[in-house]
Amino acid sequence: MALRTILHYPDPRLRRTAQPVAAVTDAIRALIADMAETMYGAPGIGLAAVQVDEPYRVVVIDISESRDQLQVFVNPEITSREGEQQMEEGCLSVPGIYEPVTRAARIKMRALDREGKPFELETAGLLATCIQHEVDHLDGKVFVDHLSRLKQSRIRKKLEKQSRLAM
């Protein structure tokens, strides 16, 4: 297991569309383990493979307080969305920025687990928001894309300045 480097917005590599995983191999399981470690270390409640520069449709999530309820989603697909809810979101690729985003309140989805076995899930609340946020990443989208142009450009400038200072 290893900690991976998280790409930071507006890195163009966050804009790539991830490809489906053909088979859940040991290599994918190793990626999942790295992603979990990286997410817990950050600390975050969800991480998509795209954020660690791996263009595969793999997501890890743990929204528990105790940080011991890891959920793995390979090739996740949202099959239905209902209602609306607004939550304040942040992103490991957009450090220090928190903004309210409106998304579906309830979703149905299917995916493969870490053994490659298909499962279905119907959920709401924070988990629903988090899944939508991570699936966006797999399609090259970041949560700031849901904000106004003005907010987007402010955030971009702030983060560009931060990364210059860090270098």
Partner 1 sequence: MRAAKSSRSNPRALCVRIVDEVVARRRYLDAALDEHLPRAPAAARAFIQEMAYGTLRWFHQLAAIAALLLERPLKQKDRDIHALLLIGLYQLRSMRLPAHAAVTETVAAAEALGKPWAKNLLNACLREYLRRAARLDEVIESDPVLQYSHPAWLTEEIRGVYPEHWEQVLAAGNERPPMVLRVNLLKNSRAEYLARLKTAGLAAAPHPAAESAVTLETPVAVAELPGFAQGCVSVQDAAAQLAAGLLDAQPGERVLDACAAPGGKTAHLLERTPTLAECLALDADPARTALIEQNLARLGLQARVVVGDAAAAATWWDGRPFARILADAPCSATGVIRRHPDIKLRRRPEDLPKLIETQRRILDGLWPLLSRGGKLLYATCSILPRENEQQIEAFLARHADAREAPLAPPVGLARAAGRQILPGMEGMDGFYYAGLRKI
Kindly list the residues in this chain that would bind partner 1 in the complex (CB under 8 A). 42-47, 61, 63, 87-92, 95-98, 126, 129-130, 133-134, 143, 162, 165-166
- Residues 112, 85: Cα–Cα separation, whole Å: 26
- Residues 55, 125: Cα–Cα separation, whole Å: 27
Smallest distance from the beta carbon of 92 to partner 1, in angstroms? 6
Longest dimension (CA), the chain: 45
The answer to whether 134 is a known catalytic residue is yes
CA pseudo-torsion sign 43, 30, 27, 32: negative
Smallest distance from the beta carbon of 52 to partner 1, in angstroms? 14
Smallest distance from the beta carbon of 21 to partner 1, in angstroms? 21
* 146 has binding-site annotation: no
Residue closest to 22 by CA, chosen among 75, 97, 98: 75
* 91 has binding-site annotation: yes
Give the chain's length.
Answer: 167
Active-site residue, from 88, 115, 120, 134: 134
Q: What is the set of active-site residues? A: 134
Binding positions are 91, 133, 137
